[in-house]
Amino acid sequence: MTKTTIKKLEQLKKELKKVVKGRDKLIDALVLGIASNQHVLLIGKHGEAKSYLVENLAKATGLNYFASQIHQETIVKDIVGLLNPVKYREGEIDILKTKFWNSEILFFDEFLRGRSEFLDFLLEVMVERKTSKTLLGETKLPVISVIATSNPLTEEYNTERMDLALKDRFFAIISIDHLIADEANANTIHDILLDNATEVENVGLTRDELISFSEQAKQVNIDVDAVIEIFVNAYRDNFAFSTRFIKMFKHVCQCNALLHGRNEVTKDDFFEIGRLMILNRYEKLDEAKIENYVDEALIKKEFQSTVTKLREIDQILNNDDEDAVAVSLEKAVELIDETKDTYQTMPKRLRDKIDRLITNVEDAIRLNIDNPNIVTHELITKLDTERFKHIISSFINSRKIETKYLNYSDYRKIRKILSSIKYCEIKREKKMKYMKIKIYPKIDEAKSFKELENIKEILKGHNIYSAY
């Protein structure tokens, strides 16, 4: 049965991608949401196909579907139905029920506009799959997944920010950017404009199949210690997640593995679900940090120290404080040198991180190359001459002394000065009867930088100094 369900879920993705262009990751997340029996929140501006996508998800699954547009006046009766006046006159309590009661997918558009009464009702539905807040008393519901949407959480859209308790109920909170904001999506917009929207076909998923799939996923092997360590790492950065959320994370990782035909959660599952679930929970939590938490939890013990150092460096390398940047650069250069011999034996993701660190170091040095408080010659001497040859060359050029084009008389004035240079490198550039002198520091000669300072002052006195 599980293999059949997996085929249907994969077909469901294909059906949705026929009618909704440029949202493949979002579609994958929604399908994973119903496969794991979890709830999803989509945040984005109007006109980005949020409602259209959920409507087609319901059509393509064949599951019962209830949709409601939420506003500030929405009350529970609007969702569940009104009191049946005929039954009431007969002395019975009954409700003229809406589709809410027998739907497996519940869709609430702009749900954050709802009042606290509605949100309390919705929380019970999401957590307990039941409602006790109607005239019928406590009633079980067949809900597989609640899908909610919201405009961006800004004053412009008159929406409120969510507390962590509410965020906890959604397995994924997905921000949907405008397609046209990304140049890579220009062709997608083109396809949308030319597309004659195709109807999705019903893949015939049932509630029982989805419940069974979710239960079967609990048998997928997973490193529980790694799950705990991911959230311990987040906690160290003051991002605290509830036990409920951690348990949900474990289960969704298992569902994702099973959906891809695996009986064991791999590091790819951890990274994919880590980015999907943990992002958008806290304002200062970004993908790079999430990847660091997962890396620290998964990478072999012999590389743990490297991962920890990378994380510390990442946190301050882009700091505005000069001292912090200088310290971070020193640590980064030392780490790059430390890992030179073990680089080839590292896991690919860690090699990628080292490569990214090298790029960040290059960028930081270029940005601060004229600031001797940050980019010192001591720092440059520690750079690997192969990996950083362009940066070393840029640094030497930034520190060189260059004269004007000198006639013979001027040149004669400084010949004695040039002959006394011990630690720097001298280059001469001839042009017709004139000559320009360039004096470069030597990276491996600390004294050459002091010598340059002295020479510069002397040349200024002769009025033939050009640039430094």
How would residue 322 be classed by pLDDT, with cut points 50, 70 and 90?
A: confident
pLDDT of amino acid 55: 92
Banded pLDDT at 157 (limits 50, 70, 90) = very low
Q: Are strands 425-431 and 434-440 parallel, antiparallel or unpaired?
A: antiparallel
Per-residue confidence (pLDDT) for residue 252, from 0 to 100: 97
Specify the pLDDT at position 349.
80
> Mean pLDDT, to the nearest integer, of 371-385?
86
Q: Which helix (H) or strand (E) holds 215?
A: helix 207-217
Please say if the pLDDT value at position 160 is more than 60: no
Whether 351 has a pLDDT exceeding 80, the answer reads: yes
Helical spans, DSSP H, in 20-142? 24-35, 50-61, 76-80, 85-89, 116-128
The two tokens of residue 121 are 């009702």
Average pLDDT over residues 252-274: 95
Averaged pLDDT score across all residues of the chain: 86
pLDDT of 94 reads 72
pLDDT at 435 over 90: no
Whole-number Cα distances in Å, 399 to 185, 329, 440, 465: 44, 19, 7, 14
pLDDT of residue 407: 86
The residue-averaged pLDDT of 6-31 equals: 92
SS3 82: strand
pLDDT of residue 334: 92
Tell me what pLDDT residue 91 has. Answer: 67
Tell me the pLDDT tens digit for each residue of 202-215.
999 999 999 999 99
Residue 182, pLDDT > 70, answer no
User: 203: helix, coil or strand?
Assistant: coil
Percentage of the chain lying above the pLDDT 90 cut = 34
Over residues 45-75, the pLDDT tens digits come to 877 778 889 999 999 999 999 999 998 888 8
Binning pLDDT at 50, 70 and 90, where does residue 468 land?
Answer: very low
Distance (Å, rounded) from C-alpha 56 to C-alpha 200? Answer: 7
Vertex 408 angle, CA 406 and 410, to 5°: 55
Angle separating helix axes 287-298 and 267-278, nearest 10 degrees: 150
pLDDT confidence band for 154 (50 / 70 / 90): low
> Which of 231-235, 255-259, 384-388 is least confident?
384-388
From 197, 202, 217, select the one nearest 64 (Cα to Cα). 202
283-292 average pLDDT score: 87
The predicted pLDDT at position 187 comes to 67
Higher pLDDT, 50 or 244: 244
The DSSP bridge partners found for residue 51 are none
Q: With CA atoms as reference, report the closest residue to 219 among 247, 246, 258.
A: 258
Which residues face 224 on adjacent strands?
Answer: none
- Which residues, 6+ apart, have CB-to-CB distance to 99 below 8 Å? 64, 65, 66
Q: pLDDT band for position 313 (50/70/90)?
A: confident
Encoding tokens for residue 146?
């609640």
* Average pLDDT for 289-295: 89
Q: Averaged over 9-34, what is the pLDDT?
A: 92
| Residue 248 predicted with pLDDT over 90 | yes
The residues, ordered by sequence, that sit 6+ positions from 178 with a Cβ below 8 Å of its Cβ are 44, 45, 48
pLDDT in tens, 69-120: 998 888 888 898 887 666 656 667 777 889 999 999 999 999 888 888 888 8
CA angle 280, 285, 291 (to 5 degrees): 105
**Given this model, what pLDDT does residue 302 score?**
78
